[in-house]
Structure 1
Amino acid sequence: MLTILTAIALAAQSPAVPPQATQLPPPIPSVPVPVTPVVEADTRPYVALVTDLGTITLRIEDKRAPVTAANFLRYVDAKRMDGFKFYRSTKSWGPANQLIQAGNRGDARRSFPPIAHEPTATTGLTNCKGALSMARLNPGDATSDFFLLLSDIRGFDSDAPGGDGAGFAVFGEIVGGAEVAEAIFNAPISPTAGEGVMVGQMLEPQVTIKTARRVPTPADAPEGCVVKTG
């Protein structure tokens, strides 16, 4: 018992432990870890049109304009586009309305049935410079013919003021070979061929699409302009 009392007494006489000696060290500031954004792979189809004047590479908006895109790719995959012609240039419309037109010339058996119209107000696409749009007379009668725009033609959008409310269906755009499209636009024109507004716009000679094939996604494909923003 005496030993225990002695130990207690000695402990009472021991110097107190400084308060700071019992505190934890200050926390180490956390360093934010940079987050690498996830970039989704581009799964959109790309098509190379090999023409008499060079190659034009197109990106196809198959998610936004599925009907029109599927129709175009059907011609490509069946190799029915091989031999189609670029036959029209709208130089006579002035710098604000520049396009070239291509399609099946002369053999109706090579055309698939007409497709449903996809207005730009629904797809969220727009007829900007470089756009790939479907040619038509009336909504729902488009088959093989298409435009490549060499200037913005916003009047082709379905919601354009003063338009017909249907417009022309955008389903892709040029991502390579824009200079080839320009060369086709500036190719010689027949002064007499064509009918109505087409007179003075028919290429002579026409420019042949030798082959149309799917190609891998180009490493340097630009973002483009056909997808509406804001």
Structure 2
Amino acid sequence: MKIFYYSVISLLCVLWISLSGAEAQKIRILTEAGGIILELYPDKAPVTVSNFLQYVDEKRYDGAVFYRVVRMDNQPVSKVKIEVIQGGLDKDSTKRLPPIVHEITRKSGLKHVDGTLSMARTTPGSAGSEFFICINNQPELDFGGLRNPDGQGFAAFGQVIEGMDTVRKIQAGQTGENEKIQLLKHPVKIITVRRLE
């Protein structure tokens, strides 16, 4: 048991050292609506970036979908309104990895601005596979923001550097009614997610 414990600690230390000095990593999400190029920040949100890259490198996001869009017109019960598109594995639990530690924006220094890539969650420490991209600045998603009652905000870890036209096209998709008011009637398929050299 002690050997296993020390092996895990050593692996985490190596991962931390390798990521702490790492430069921004570029990723391309190819969807049926177009491409989105992202820049990830392992120096600011190492746990979240490492988690996302594991999904990418193991091709777990291939065939996933953008399935939820939040606009000013489709959140009637929310007092604090936001604008995002959300993607990931949705109901496919077979590809999910364990949830990760919540990295707050107060520590990372990142903000939820137009094009920010962040992790969807319920409680702190529940994020894993589902992610979202902001449309316009969304300060209520930062630490201390009011969108989530716990005030811990969401874990921002990257930025769209190309393809906001694709993001906005996805956000404009037709959604359902009542409890499905934010769910796309025709989810947008993610064809591949790959690192860019």
CA contact (8 A) 1:46 1:57 kept: yes
Q: Map of 1:95-110 to 2, 5 A cutoff? A: 97-110=82-95
8 Å Cα contact 1:158/1:164 also seen in 2: no
Q: Which amino acid aligns with 2:153?
A: G
Post-superposition CA distance 1:22-49 (Å, at most 9, x none) = xxxxxxxxxxxxxxxxxxxx93111000
- Say yes or no: does 1:77 pair with 2:57: yes
What SS does the corresponding residue of 1:109 show, helix, strand or coil? helix
Partner of 1:136: 121
| Higher radius of gyration, 1 or 2 | 1
- Name the structure 2 match of 1:204: 185
Stretches of structure 2 that go unaligned for 5 or more consecutive residues are 1-21
Instruction: Give distance in 2, aligned partners of 1:118 and 1:60.
Output: 14
SS in 2 for 1:204: strand
The equivalent residue for 1:170 is: 156
Q: Distance between the aligned counterparts of 2:115 and 2:175, measured in 1?
A: 22
Distance in 1 of aligned mates of 2:159 and 2:139 = 15
Q: Does 1:180 align with 2:197?
A: no
Aligned partners of 2:40 and 2:158 also within 8 Å:
yes
Given that 1:55 and 1:180 are in contact with CA atoms closer than 8 Å, whether structure 2 keeps it comes out as yes
For normalisation by structure 2, the TM-score amounts to 0.81
Q: Considering only aligned residues, what root-mean-square deviation do their CA atoms show, in Å?
A: 1.8
The corresponding residue for 1:191 is 177
Answer yes or no: is the 8 Å Cα contact 1:49–1:209 preserved in 2: yes
Percent identity, aligned pairs only?
Answer: 37
Distance 1:129 1:200, change over 3 A: same
Structure with the bigger percentage of strand? 2
Q: Is there any run of 5+ residues in structure 1 with no aligned partner, and where?
A: 1-41, 217-230
Q: How does 1:1-230 map to 2 (within 5 A)?
A: 43-91=23-71, 92-93=74-75, 97-160=82-145, 164-192=150-178, 195=179, 199-216=180-197
Supply the AA of the counterpart residue of 2:91. Answer: G
Q: How many residues align?
A: 169
